Chains A and B, each alone.
Chain A
Amino acid sequence: MNEITTAGKLTAKDFTSDQEVRWCPGCGDYAILKCMQRTLPEIGARPENTVFVSGIGCSSRFPYHMATYGFHTIHGRAPAIATGVKLANPDLDVWVITGDGDGLSIGGNHLLHVLRRNVDLNILLFNNEIYGLTKGQYSPTSRPGTRSPSTPQGSFENPVSACAFALGAGAKFVARTIDTDQKHMPDVFKRAHRNKGASFVEIFQNCIVYNDGVFSDFADKANAAETRVYAVHGEPLLFGSENKKGLRLNADKLRLEVVTLGEDGVGEKDIIVHDETNPILAQLLVSLTAPAYPVVLGVIYAAPSESFEAAAMKQIDASIKKHGIGDLDAVIRQGRTWTVT
């Protein structure tokens, strides 16, 4: 199905399968795929050690286009299958590809637990706020009032925020990026890959057929500077075309507010410095939504801890150290036995 990989320096081509890509022309998924194929060689990944596991939906076709190991599974279950892969072989580099329907609706339970357990997976959730593969029904991240074949008068459900969900589930790494930013996406992928544990990445992804322009508030390059804040650890949360706008904590109201440097006596010391290890700040940052606020992209939270499979292997090693390698004959002879002659 793909050429044998020779050792040495790899390129995007080594990660590109020969399978025809079948997404709609103009779909945001193309940009993410290209970015992944370009980034993997840069982080020293090997095709034979890389596994892409996906669920069901447009985004979940992703593994077929990667010249790595891949498993296109069933709706919502990719986190569970990927957990099994990691438990069988913790040395593999495992990426989970999911969407807003796959990851937050039918598979919400698995996503919750895989994050809570901190399984060493890189989980990319392509959020397009719509069901694409089933032809345009509203999704759990769709905004109230979304008109779709199943909500002709507009939806009336409260949407879930992917990153707030991840933080609530106890994720140790939460980041956000957007399909139109080919410079930013690779950095986020690299950080996610470096983190040993569950790395959750929400990617705002445009569905050109069923939900075109849903992120136009901040997706367009023209107004990107005014509508996005790129969070960088240790740096002030500034934005705007002249980098004069910033986020300040209103301590009395315990909420963030947008301020402008030089106005009303606002100085740089008033702007919050991003601390990606601060879970409270992370909660505040993911709560900002367009158009009232800029949208925060980047690594919002990163507080690494031991991964699930590492802890599991540790217990196995400890048992072997304590009891020696298992001897089934000894086990079945334990306890009371008797002999019949």
Chain B
Amino acid sequence: MDRRVDDNTNPSLPELDELESVVVRFAGDSGDGMQLTGAQFTASTALAGHDLSTFPDFPAEIRAPAGTTFGVSAFQINFGSDRVLTAGDEPDVLVAMNPAALKVNIDNLRQGGLVVVDTGSFSARNQKKAGYESNPLEDDSLSGYRVMRLDITAYTLEAVKQFGLSNKDALRCKNMWTLGLMLWMFGRQRKPITEWLKTKFGKMPEVAKSNIAALNAGHAFGETAELSSDLKRYEIRPAHLEPGTYRTVTGSQSLAWGLVAGAQCAGLKLMFGSYPITPASTLLHLLAAMKQFGIVTFQAEDEISAICAAIGASFAGSLGVTSSSGPGIALKTEAMGLAISTELPLIIVNSQRGGPSTGLPTKTEQSDLYQAIYGRNGDSPLPVIGTRSPGDCFETAIEAVRIATKYMTPVILLSDGYTANAAEPWKLPDLESLEKFPTQIVETPPEEGEHFNPYERDPETLSRPWAKPGTPGLEHRIGGLEKSYETGHISYDADNHQKMTDTRMAKIAGIAADIPPQEVFQGTEGGEMAVVGWGSTFGPIDQAVHRARDKGLDVSHIHLRHLNPFPSNLEGLLKSYKKVLVPEMNTGQLMTVLRDRFLLEAVPLNKVEGQPFKIREIEGAIANVLNGKGAAS
């Protein structure tokens, strides 16, 4: 067995333990259990009191051919003592379980970073499959990195030999061996993971024992004397988080719980209609497992049926919610128009992914903003709000429910693949203190001889009354045809259509007065430059602005939750800066909308590589724009 460990560290680079945070990336074949390893490492990291952020990065294929580059699955975690808002630019440590994982990920590793490779998987065949002409472990292609060549395959087989598993099952424990090594490297506890393994494999004690043995063996390996000079135990100071009780939460979890909390605040039953699509399906899975809340989940035959069932549920007095990703949202478009025309509350969650068409199902992008704001036939306005991080999904979902029910309107909630899958520490909210907004469902029939008019609007909100089937005296008919402003009956009258169109626009525009004024997240009101973002670019923008301000630059960070309508003070606020930089994971959609609404000269910074922004990309753009150049120069 090859126990040689090389150290090619460039001495001028900082040691890992001097960094504010450490980024570890686990990469392997999709069948190697990398997501599981990453999730367990995340849990142990949170338990150690570190701030963290994760980024699962997996292939679209369920089981791509083993050993190929397109079958590589990875999980990245950034944890540290300072506030951690992104999953990190460049990994400091890369764990590569096979040649393909090395090939795909090595270019991202920080120069001087540590790469741990399983030499047992570096057969000539696997190297060829990954596209290597010669063995990268033997030529100089890894100079510039610290390389740990470990025969993880052999160590794992040795560690689990006594339990008599088949070779295939024994090899499945490789991920736990690796996790054990990483736990040792970063001073993490093994106990929560061994407990978890015992529960997970409760019915298969041999499998549980094998996994625990592999975990312990990996951990023990790290402790062996002959490696200690090369593998430091990195101690990281716990993060300075606000006092409170915390847990890690993924965007999907926090969104699911936010929807449940929102429905409770509104006093409504939740009905969730959805059709499986990556990366949005997790929300369906989570809500389907919460039936004790009275939640009805419906896996529809298609995206159209999913939204239509949600609309039907809202018509019948529940809170209808549907969820999808870009292409699925496109299919729901006609039904959104119906919800706008019939003025029924509805939440549409879009976990955005790379587009157009099927695009990049498992990669993140925020290129559906136009679709959300403009993408329907007719003049069909609806509120659009965006969530900035996994934990933020909770509040955003509640806000979506508040607007939808108060204004009797569909609301689009924009999330993305990154936010849905990523995890971060989340301070548990005090649910008792959440502001209730009970829905005013009409139950009183009109006076004798009077008719119930389903379009008799509240003069302040312009919202129409919600009467649900089952209520005597409030029988009414609605539909997608234009309605008379006065009676709610079908009307083809030209003046009436003008008035109804104007009213629908005014109702949505009026929401601007009912949302919080836009705040400056970091920096000052007015100044040289504002960096304006929305959605999951929050983390890298915040870090980049933080670094720029540390250097003394006059830069502020503004992050939008409300994308349509905008907060009423936004125009004045943005015009108080000399320059506005808009980083987006699209080709400039928010920038166009800002120009459209405010005739604002904004500078775009765009990236559509299926990956989140790196901090230094935004940092560089800030410097460029301040120097009078384009963002990307």
Contacts and interface: CB of A to CB of B under 8 A. Distances in A.
Interface of A: 1-5, 17, 19, 46-49, 51-53, 63-64, 66-74, 77, 79-89, 91-92, 109-110, 112-113, 312, 315-316, 318-320, 322-326, 328-329, 331-333, 335-341
Interface string B318-329: 101000000000
A50 to B, nearest CB: 8
A91 B316 CA distance: 11
B243 A85 contact: no
B476 A335 contact: no
In the A-B complex, list the 8 residue pairs whose CB atoms are closest, starting with the nearest.
A84-B312, A72-B479, A326-B293, A84-B309, A70-B477, A80-B308, A88-B316, A319-B291
Given A63-B477, A73-B338, A328-B257, A316 B309 contact: no
A92 to B, nearest CB: 5
25 contacts: A3-B449, A17-B477, A19-B489, A48-B470, A48-B475, A63-B479, A64-B477, A70-B475, A71-B479, A73-B480, A80-B305, A80-B309, A87-B271, A87-B318, A89-B318, A316-B291, A316-B294, A320-B291, A331-B257, A331-B290, A332-B257, A337-B245, A337-B247, A339-B245, A340-B49
Contacts of A340: 49, 241-246
Contacts of B293: 325-326, 328
Contacts of A83: 298, 305, 308-309, 312
Contact of A332 (B247, B309, B477): B247
Contacts of B338: 73-74
B315 A85 contact: yes
Contacts of B490: 19, 64
Given A326-B292, A326-B293, A81 B308 contact: yes
B481 interface: yes
A77 B469 contact: no
B46 A338 contact: yes
A80 B335 CA distance: 11
B11 interface: no
B49 A73 contact: no
Given A4-B445, A109-B302, A85 B246 contact: no
B214 interface: no
Given A73-B480, A87-B271, A326-B293, A81 B247 contact: no
Contacts of A77: 304-305, 308, 335
A337 B338 CA distance: 43
Nearest to B322: A84
A322 B290 CA distance: 12
B546 interface: no
B311 interface: yes
B313 interface: yes
Interface in B257-305: 257, 260-261, 264, 269, 271, 273, 290-296, 298, 300-302, 304-305
A74 to B, nearest CB: 5
A68 B264 CA distance: 29
A78 to B, nearest CB: 8
Given A79-B305, A89-B316, A336-B46, 14 more contacts: A2-B451, A17-B477, A47-B475, A48-B469, A84-B273, A85-B313, A86-B312, A113-B300, A312-B298, A316-B296, A320-B291, A326-B293, A332-B431, A335-B247
Contacts of B429: 332
Contacts of B487: 1
Nearest to B293: A326
Contact of B47 (A82, A84, A336): A336
Contacts of B104: none
B316 A73 contact: no
A147 B4 CA distance: 83
B428 interface: yes
B244 A315 contact: no
Given A4-B446, A74-B334, A91-B470, A81 B311 contact: yes
B472 interface: yes
A338 B475 CA distance: 52
A146 B309 CA distance: 35
Contact of A1 (B243, B316, B318, B477): B477
A88 B428 contact: no
B134 to A, nearest CB: 45
Contact of A84 (B245, B313, B472, B475): B313
B479 to A, nearest CB: 3
B448 A328 contact: no
A47 B476 CA distance: 10
B120 interface: no
Nearest to B310: A84
B477 A5 contact: no
Given A89-B317, A316-B291, A319-B292, A336 B247 contact: yes
Contacts of B308: 73-74, 77, 80-81, 83-84, 110
A314 to B, nearest CB: 10
A1 B449 CA distance: 10
A320 B46 contact: no
B202 interface: no
Contact of A315 (B257, B291, B477): B291
A312 B299 CA distance: 12
Contacts of B290: 326, 331
- From A81, A82, A91, A326, residue with most partner B Cβ within 10 Å: A81
Contacts of B271: 84, 87-88
B523 interface: no
B473 A5 contact: yes
B477 A341 contact: no
A326 B475 CA distance: 33
Contacts of A5: 472-473, 475
A110 B312 CA distance: 14
B449 to A, nearest CB: 8
B478 interface: yes
B509 interface: no
A72 B310 CA distance: 15
Contact of B489 (A1, A4, A109): A1
Contacts of B448: 4
A80 B242 CA distance: 46
B20 to A, nearest CB: 18
B470 A87 contact: no
A48 B489 contact: no
